[in-house]
Amino acid sequence: MLAVITNASVKLVNRYLPSSFVFSIILTLIAFAAGLILTGQDILAMAGHWGNGLWSLHGFAMQMALILITGYALANAPFIQRFLDAMASRIHSPKAAIIIVTLVAMAGALINWGFGLVISAVFARSLAKKVTSVDYPLLVAAAYSGFLVWHSGLSGSIPLALSSGGDTLQQLSGNVLTEAIPLSQTIFAPYNLAILVTLIVVIPVLNSFMHPKNPTLVDPSILKGKVYQAPEHDTPAKKLDDSRLVALVLIVLAVMYYVNEFTNNGFSLGFNIVIGLFLFMGLLAHGTLERYYLAVNSGISSITGIVLLYPFYGGIMGIMTGANLNGVSISTEVTEFFINNASADSFPVFAFLSAGIVNVFVPSGGGQFAVQGPVMIPAGTALGVSPSVTAMAIAWGDAWTNMIQPFWALPLLGIAGLDARAIMGYCLIVLAVSGVIIMGGLLFLV
């Protein structure tokens, strides 16, 4: 039965899902029309929200581009390739490969979402080399499915915002919260751990059961390793370019920085910290600045989707959050609809569903909470629902519909060498099953 449903889902997506670029423009037009209808603003006002949003993700887009190309360069270092290949060589069956890559992706996402995206894509490539009969699109989809759990991990932006306290938390909670909420009441709460453990058990097995009888094998050109010719040392300048001593000085400087950072601020894997670790570990792995530069340059083409699409997603976010004179935006209207139809028991599920819908158009956990938190938390509190539960329901909704939103898949797809169409049919099944698990947990365990 699952095979039939999976086959139908894959065919449906391959036939009707447009390219990631076209998909972002379709979302733009849908959001634009919804803004005209739901907020009563005119075309020029909505165009203004769109235009202002276009450039709102520049800093984030640069971070995503950096984590992709630094992760790519690190993965293509000769000894890293040998290590990953050695790990992959211990796995012999396609189903085992699917299960292992899902678990690796989940573990990585729980540590840091950016790290999880890169490490799972890199490991999927190594597995495809060794387990040659594995369905490559499903393998990459399994790697992406691990991203489902990121908001219950150490880099979850919503639980971290709740634990930080201060004026920002008061604003995000609609003036309901004045004191920080510890992680013990969010990501480490018993109901949340039960949802998380269930997903960790079910999703890898689900992915393995979706493996088709006639797999789509990887294109060998995708996995072809990069061979870097050692630069000629026929001039002093070229000797300096390929000097290991210069690279070593830079590595020592980086080590001193990280020792100081972790000593003074604790071992916190913020996004910029992860990018820096990828960068300097990659430099160490390649040995010289010149060879590392060549490795990074070879991965530049994989960031095309990020450079081109992220401004348009910024525009969509501008439309979704652009309010009229009464403070009404598309996001608040979606949120209010679910609030008006909720009871104390059903409110966490409705918060989850509303967040899932908003996330398709505003694929940013922090940005989404800034829109929904000030509305949802006071409404939940009025119904007797704990703010921590409301916040985690929003967090799960944000993570849930990432399974059908190419925004976050772009870095992973760039490394894997596939487009969104190749994996979204499988991700649609993960969306359905995980949705049932998460809603069941919010309904019966809270």
pTM of the model: 0.86
**Model confidence over 89-140: pLDDT tens digits?**
999 999 999 999 999 999 989 988 878 888 899 899 999 999 999 999 999 9
Least confident segment among 151-155, 177-181, 217-221, 301-305: 301-305
| pLDDT at position 268 | 67
Mean pLDDT across 57-80 = 81
Q: Which residue has the higher pLDDT, 302 or 384?
A: 384
**Model confidence over 274-303: pLDDT tens digits?**
788 889 998 998 888 988 988 888 778 778
Q: 357-367 burial string, b = 16+ CB within 10 Å, else e? A: bbbbbbbbbeb
Coil, helix or strand at residue 445 = coil
Cα(390)–Cα(373) distance, integer angstroms: 9
Least confident segment among 224-228, 316-320, 352-356, 423-427: 224-228
Percent of the chain at pLDDT above 90?
A: 50
Kindly indicate the confidence band of residue 75, based on its pLDDT and cuts at 50, 70 and 90: confident
Q: What is the chain's alpha carbon radius of gyration, rounded to the nearest angstrom?
A: 23
- Which of 357, 326, 370 has its CA nearest to residue 45? 326
Neighbour-count burial of 274, counting CB atoms closer than 10 A to its CB (0-12 exposed, 13-18 middle, 19+ buried): buried
Residues 6+ apart with CB under 8 A from 48: 322
Cα(289)–Cα(216) distance, integer angstroms: 38
Cα(18)–Cα(31) distance, integer angstroms: 17
Least confident segment among 241-255, 363-377, 397-411: 363-377
| pLDDT at position 225 | 59
Contact, 362 vs 368, CB < 8 A? yes
Residues 6+ apart with CB under 8 A from 362: 316, 317, 320, 321, 331, 368, 371
Mean pLDDT across 259-280 = 81
| pLDDT at position 397 | 96
Coil, helix or strand at residue 146 = helix
Kindly indicate the confidence band of residue 61, based on its pLDDT and cuts at 50, 70 and 90: confident
| Res 141 pLDDT > 80 | yes
Residues 6+ apart with CB under 8 A from 264: none
